[in-house]
């Protein structure tokens, strides 16, 4: 390959038009890159073109054109296709959708005139100099189609569990920079697989926007929801009550614990946190309810506000215990969704201020679609066997919650 490539490059130099010698570097890069592609596919196949060997694993099946933008200019390559399997040369390792989205957002920021020193540094690091409006529009249009297909896809499988939360990007709107609510819904299918059900952007995190978001999920086919997990945001809670009729609501235990310790002086916070967390460490609902009674008795004298909060929130804090014990750790909080939100926020922070709403959904939608693809091929969140106890209508999830009077008797007896 080296000898033939050298001859080809020398011929190219000798035959080059003197007035077009400036294009020699681009053509040389094109010849070199094509030679590397051919060498790589030969190695993958185990034989050269038309060569028959025992090591051959497949054969050529034509080629497809692919443009590659380099510092020497755009080079035109022919990417071989294979009869069995697929081939993508290392030179053209496809850029992740989320990274393409970030590039588009940065370019849109320049077009909209909202560039900052951070964006300038990002452009330099990503090598995006020279992107004009037409390039931005073309790339954004292709990505918008992918994101729209992901956001509007039908929801076929039942999702017994649903997590809801929001993060808050800054967006330029009507000449002002405002904070908007990016609402995200994550579910677990009846097969135990995690999936991102939807993402929507609202002017604020209120009941109206949450209701519209949940309604859109149902219109796309969301069904079978038995438990909704979220924090105690009033607008979100009212939307769940109105749009998810027949579902239980689990108040995030981590958020509740933080709210509880915020009611006491700092030296007492570790003690209060430990008392509250003892409730969720119990092996069954009966023991958890008895522990609630003991915890309230412990807290009432010194921290009556916390004791009142715990007593009022008890049914919602223990809702997850109506489901298989193997699921409790994931069901009692929004920790999994918060980890996803932190990754979304990390990418949002790189941009800083988005030029418009569509750029927010373009970046976050691409990132979430990519995460959903990874979840689809990764280990299940819950086993199929454990999910059967949730989806089988005749199977009881466990003993019913004890009345408060009975719980007190158990606590006193213990």
Place of tokens 């933080």: 258
pLDDT digits (tens, 9 = 90+) for 77-130: 888 888 777 777 877 765 556 556 666 666 555 445 444 455 555 555 555 554
Q: Any bridge partners for residue 228, and if so which?
A: 162, 249
- Collapsing DSSP to helix, strand or coil, 199 comes out as strand
Average pLDDT over residues 34-61: 80
Letter string b/e over residues 60-93, b meaning 16 or more CB atoms within 10 A of that residue's CB: beeeeeeebeeeeeebebebbebeeeebebebee
pLDDT digits (tens, 9 = 90+) for 138-189: 556 667 888 899 999 999 999 999 999 999 999 998 889 999 999 999 999 9
CA distances from 98 to 337, 347, 367 (A): 18, 9, 5
The answer to whether 194 touches 286, Cβ cutoff 8 Å, is no
- Percent above pLDDT 90 for the chain: 46
Q: Using the 8-state DSSP alphabet, how is residue 324 labeled?
A: -
**What is the pLDDT at residue 209?**
92
- Predicted model pTM: 0.69
Q: Residue 61: is its pLDDT beyond 60? A: yes
Average pLDDT over residues 11-38: 70
φ, ψ of residue 274 in degrees (nearest 5): -65, -40
**What is the pLDDT at residue 89?**
81
pLDDT digits (tens, 9 = 90+) for 268-283: 999 999 999 999 999 9
The answer to whether 101 touches 110, Cβ cutoff 8 Å, is no
How large is the angle between the packed helices 304-317 and 285-300, nearest 10 degrees? Answer: 170
The answer to whether 357 touches 170, Cβ cutoff 8 Å, is no
The answer to whether 77 touches 68, Cβ cutoff 8 Å, is yes
Look over the chain and give the mean of its residue pLDDT values, rounded to a whole number. 81
Distance CA 315, CA 323 (A): 14
Average pLDDT over residues 53-75: 76
pLDDT digits (tens, 9 = 90+) for 243-259: 999 999 999 999 999 99
Q: Which of 282, 283, 308, 278 is nearest to 296 (CA)?
A: 308
**What is the pLDDT at residue 405?**
43
Distance CA 41, CA 82 (A): 9
Q: Which of 376, 397, 391, 350 is nearest to 122 (CA)?
A: 350
pLDDT digits (tens, 9 = 90+) for 309-352: 999 999 999 999 999 999 999 999 999 999 999 988 888 887 78
Burial class (CB in 10 A: 0-12, 13-18, 19+), 176: exposed
């Amino acid at each position: 390959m080296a000898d033939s490539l050298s001859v080809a490059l020398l011929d190219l130099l000798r035959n080059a038009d003197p007035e077009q010698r400036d294009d020699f570097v681009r053509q040389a890069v094109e010849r070199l890159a094509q030679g590397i592609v051919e060498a790589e596919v030969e190695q993958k196949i185990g034989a050269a073109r038309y060569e028959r060997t025992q090591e051959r694993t497949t054969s050529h099946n034509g080629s497809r054109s692919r443009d590659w933008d380099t510092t020497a200019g755009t080079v035109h390559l022919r990417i071989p296709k294979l009869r069995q399997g697929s081939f993508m040369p290392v030179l053209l390792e496809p850029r992740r959708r989320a990274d393409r989205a970030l590039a588009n957002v940065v370019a849109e920021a320049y077009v909209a005139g909202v560039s900052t020193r951070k964006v300038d540094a990002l452009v330099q690091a990503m090598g995006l100099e020279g992107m004009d409006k037409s390039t931005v529009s073309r790339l954004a249009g292709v990505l918008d189609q992918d994101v729209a297909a992901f956001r509007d896809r039908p929801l076929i499988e039942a999702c017994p569990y649903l997590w809801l939360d929001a993060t808050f990007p800054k967006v330029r709107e009507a000449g002002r920079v405002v904070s908007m609510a990016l609402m995200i819904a994550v579910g677990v299918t009846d097969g135990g697989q995690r999936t991102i059900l939807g993402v929507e952007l609202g002017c604020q995190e209120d009941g109206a926007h949450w209701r519209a978001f949940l309604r859109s999920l149902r219109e796309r086919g969301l069904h079978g929801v038995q438990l909704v997990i979220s924090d105690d945001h009033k607008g979100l809670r009212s939307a769940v009550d109105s749009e998810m009729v027949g579902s239980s609501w689990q108040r995030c235990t981590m958020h509740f614990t933080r709210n509880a310790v915020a009611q006491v002086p700092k030296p007492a916070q570790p003690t209060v946190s430990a008392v509250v967390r003892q409730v969720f460490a119990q092996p069954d609902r009966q023991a958890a309810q008895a522990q609630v009674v003991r915890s309230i008795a412990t807290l009432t004298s010194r921290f009556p506000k916390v004791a009142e909060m715990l007593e009022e929130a008890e049914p919602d804090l223990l809702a997850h215990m109506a489901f298989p014990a193997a699921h409790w750790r994931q069901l009692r909080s929004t920790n999994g969704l918060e980890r996803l939100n932190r990754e979304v926020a990390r990418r949002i922070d790189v941009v800083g201020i988005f030029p418009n709403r569509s750029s927010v959904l373009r970046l976050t939608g691409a990132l979430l679609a990519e995460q959903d693809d990874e979840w689809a091929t990764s280990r299940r969140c819950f086993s199929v066997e454990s999910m059967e106890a949730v989806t089988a209508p005749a199977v009881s999830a466990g003993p019913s919650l004890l009345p408060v009077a009975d719980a007190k008797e158990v606590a006193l007896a213990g």
